[in-house]
Chains A and B, each alone.
Chain A
Amino acid sequence: MNCRAEVLEVSVEGRQVEEAMLAVLHTVLLHRSTGKFHYKKEGTYSIGTVGTQDVDCDFIDFAYVRVSSEELDRALRKAVGEFKDALRNSGNDGMGQISLEFYQKKKSRWPFPDECIPWELWTIKVNVVNLANEQERQICREKVGEKLCEKIINIVEITDSLGTSVTTTMRRLIKDTLAL
């Protein structure tokens, strides 16, 4: 199966990195999350319900929707926090990238390890800018907010264009997983 790769680029100020990353990653995960699958005896399964909640950004004039899952949010925040620290310490002029990969885990027979087959990869390239004064920061708040709106629209367009093929892929993945 081919892995689809999508790349998004954002330019943000240092303190906006975390929120911008979370906004993009949560939006992707919202589209890729399903409710919990319950396997039933009759060979059928049922799917749980995904709740959503609004998140307001503190450093960006922006709001986004994420899945109502504290565990997911914690995992993302941990990863984004590490990324932010690495970005700060790397000295690469504030350039870096973080990726979100969706893969299928296929169990292999002993002694072979489990196989991880990625089927979708989202990469966010970040460019950290330094601003001189508060006025520039205020302008940056608004501009980054507008840019993130565009990114969300991009993500939605991408997910829509991937459409049926992804649904079929996911369905196959789930069937494979449940069959094991």
Chain B
Amino acid sequence: MDTDLSSQDRKDLDKFIKFFALKTVQVIVQARLGEKICTRSSSSPTGSDWFNLAIKDIPEVTHEAKKALAGQLPAVGRSMCVEISLKTSEGDSMELEIWCLEMNEKCDKEIKVSYTVYNRLSLLLKSLLAITRVTPAYRLSRKQGHEYVILYRIYFGEVQLSGLGEGFQTVRVGTVGTPVGTITLSCAYRINLAFMSTRQFERTPPIMGIIIDHFVDRPYPSSSPMHPCNYRAGEDNGAVYPSVEDSQEVCTTSFSTSPPSQCVFTVTKAHFQTPPPVVTDTLKVPVMGLAFSHQLSSSRLSYQPAALGVGSADMGYPVLFAGGLNAAHPHQLIGPGKEGGVPPIPNQPAHGTQADQERMCTPLDGVHYSAATPSSSEDTETVSNSSEGKCGSPHDLLETIFIRKVGAFVNKPINQVNPPDSPETESPLQGSLHSEGSSGSSTGNTHDDFVMIDFKPAFSKDDILPMDLGTFYREFQNPPQLSSLSIDIGAQSMAEDLDSLPEKLAVHEKNVKEFDAFVETLQ
């Protein structure tokens, strides 16, 4: 079939298709992050913007997409699919869309790879940008918050549309003919969203003023098509998200990865207002991407009710992603502390630590927080993972679920978790009854159970009226009303004031020059 294609053309075509697939995933996932995307035009090509479009790369998403592809390319019978689903705080999930990148056998031998195919792919990406904003899931993703989050899953193989419910609709984004087949990009989306409208989300009040962060052991119910990933704690195979996937094929990432000890996303749009300490989820956070870190973690995601007292209305961001394939990355989200939270672990230093990441595994044994560095400059994202989990699913359906749940934020040191101690000083009444007076003398009989002490308040003088605190309290419990507050006297004084006003004004007018001189000295 491709005998007419030169080896260079074939190589180029494979490269184009590969990066087109990666960019497709980026566009789709970024369109479901819940926020507005903005990239700059540039008159000078940097050599890293594929298809002449400024599409940022979220390293984690690229990583997952590459894992899903596993070195293969979309071909006949082998489609790359991005599944977008919704998960409620109660654990219910629903598939919303399946985006399919397919290849059929219809070839266009005449087409020129280096220019025409490339430009057609660019046009197709533009169409994808437009179409991702018009399907129903876009509006849902923009409103995601603590009630629900949007997840993604990438898989390679046969398209699975059964989860979309009955009557799903399909929209074709576009096609590009190539010498080896025709690439088709389409989206099948659910139209029956009745599940959402009838759901009522219950919330339980926080316990003792402590807002509990929520991490579920197994975030997905057994009926869900998604499979959680088992993360092995402490394992680090060095799978840091590369900023350069292949040295010869770099086309994106303006982001650099942080050292393996940290999973840090630096915020591109720094919306957070509070400085660190920030909270890092120990659950893997899939895509944080752009402007997330602080805000995301501070806003919502909570799978259990009463997660957040935080008003998330102003937080547009959240997103939860289920990464496809063997995710092994404990992606941590960093968020500013918002409300008193539960930090059952010791306070962490300002930078995320390896230890926390290593403890990131299911089942969760509690809430783990670690402060992380705040965002630095724009256009930088750093992601790294320190451990890699194993995925027990079949290779075809390998998927990794990243779930990030964010609950309350810790902005207090751990020793403030408990309600504040009762005041050290006892009430006067108590003082008169009990022995632990702060003043007064003690009889000093340590062998007695309690010792009576006379409480002599400092404001009670013995020569005037010897009294203890209790007597004083009773005596002065009902003091007489101030005379100036009585109506008659008040009215009388006001009348006198009004009468004397003209005289006072006359005096002041005489002394105008003095006043002016005084004001000038002040200037």
Residues of A in contact with B (beta carbons under 8 Å apart)? 27, 30-31, 34-36, 38, 46-56, 61, 63-65, 67-69, 148-149, 152-153, 155-157, 159-160, 163-164, 167-168, 170-171
Contacts and interface: CB of A to CB of B under 8 A. Distances in A.
Contacts of B52: 34-35, 47-50
Given A61-B139, A64-B130, A68-B38, A31 B123 contact: yes
A19 to B, nearest CB: 14
B116 interface: yes
Contact of B127 (A31, A36, A54): A31
Chain B contact residues: helix, strand, loop or mixed: mixed
Contacts of B138: 63
A50 B139 contact: no
B177 to A, nearest CB: 7
Contacts of A153: 131, 134, 171
B39 A68 contact: yes
Contact of B172 (A30, A38, A160, A164): A160
B130 A51 contact: no
Interface stretch (B40-48, B72-80, B197-205, B478-486): B40-48
Given A31-B126, A52-B37, A54-B36, A36 B131 contact: no
A47 B46 CA distance: 10
B376 interface: no
Contact of A30 (B42, B130, B175): B130
Contact of B54 (A34, A52, A61, A171): A52
Q: Which 6 A-B pairs have the closest CB atoms?
A: A54-B36, A149-B134, A53-B38, A160-B174, A51-B54, A51-B39
A69 B133 contact: no
Contacts of A51: 38-42, 53-54
B115 interface: yes
B173 interface: yes
A68 B173 CA distance: 22
B116 A167 contact: yes
Nearest to B44: A48
B173 A156 contact: yes
B127 to A, nearest CB: 4
B461 to A, nearest CB: 72
A157 B52 CA distance: 21
Contacts of B177: 164
Contact of A54 (B37, B41, B126, B174): B37
Contacts of A152: 130-131, 133-134
B45 A164 contact: no
A49 B41 contact: yes
Given A47-B52, A51-B39, A64 B133 contact: yes
30 contacts: A30-B130, A35-B52, A36-B43, A38-B43, A46-B45, A48-B42, A48-B52, A49-B49, A49-B53, A51-B42, A51-B53, A52-B53, A52-B126, A53-B38, A53-B39, A63-B133, A65-B129, A65-B133, A67-B41, A68-B39, A69-B41, A149-B134, A149-B135, A159-B127, A159-B174, A160-B127, A160-B172, A170-B119, A171-B115, A171-B119
Given A27-B130, A164-B120, A50 B172 contact: no
Contacts of A68: 38-41, 54
A38 to B, nearest CB: 7
B111 interface: yes
A159 B40 CA distance: 24
